[in-house]
Amino acid sequence: LTGTSREQRAFQYVLAHAIPGDPHHILQTFDQWCYHCEHLSCVGPDKGRIVERVLLEQAPLRVLELGTYCGYGTVLLAQGLPPGARLYTIEGDPRHAAVAEKVIRLAGFSEQTVELIVGPSEEVIPRLREKHGMMNANLVFMDHWKRCYLRDLRLLESHQLLAEGATILADNVLFPGAPHFLQYAKTCGKYHCKVHRASLEY
């Protein structure tokens, strides 16, 4: 009835209630909205703790996120980066990207730290090195269309965009599920696999 999307309504709430430049408070405000107002497919605090733990353990200097959505995961990743690190995030939907851009900048992250790239992942990934200067990623966070997980992992491999010892963190592989991706990761011999049990967003 308002003519605005759920994502825009969530951003208006964040804008009204969150502390600008405070990534943690911005995520908490998103969580409040999602728990009490409308559901959004954000990572959420439960799985967010897994992401934070991986960031702390790995201290990656180059991070790639597939599926920016509203920027929740982007802010979560960016706040855990070590000094001098850079995050590249890809969003295929221009409307979601417009919201995410505002969320990322509201959280206080500049384009030097977080670069938001708008376009289909299968088109953006082959251009990451040449056009965006990403030599390879130490950590990849997959949270876009599950049917694209395997295709995009193969693209990252074929374009040598994974650093030695890189970590691939893929959300919702059991439900809604990415069975082909999971089978490949477990059987191709290139990866050690671990499944983290968690709730589905909120």
Residue-wise pLDDT for 113-135, tens only, equals: 999 999 999 999 999 999 999 99
- Whether the full predicted model's pTM is greater than 0.85, yes or no, is yes
pLDDT at 122: 98
Q: Which domains does the chain have, with CATH numbers?
A: 6-188 (3.40.50.150)
pLDDT at 198: 87
Catalytic option among 172, 186, 190, 194 = 172
Asked if 129 contacts 144 with a C-beta cutoff of 8 angstroms, the reply is no
β-bridge pairing 137-142 and 114-118: unpaired
pLDDT at 200: 79
71/17 Cα distance (integer angstroms): 17
Known catalytic membership, residue 143:
yes
Known catalytic membership, residue 47:
no
Catalytic option among 65, 91, 146, 152 = 146
Catalytic option among 65, 101, 143, 152 = 143
pLDDT at 1: 67
For the chain, which ranges sit under pLDDT 50?
Answer: none
Known catalytic membership, residue 152:
no
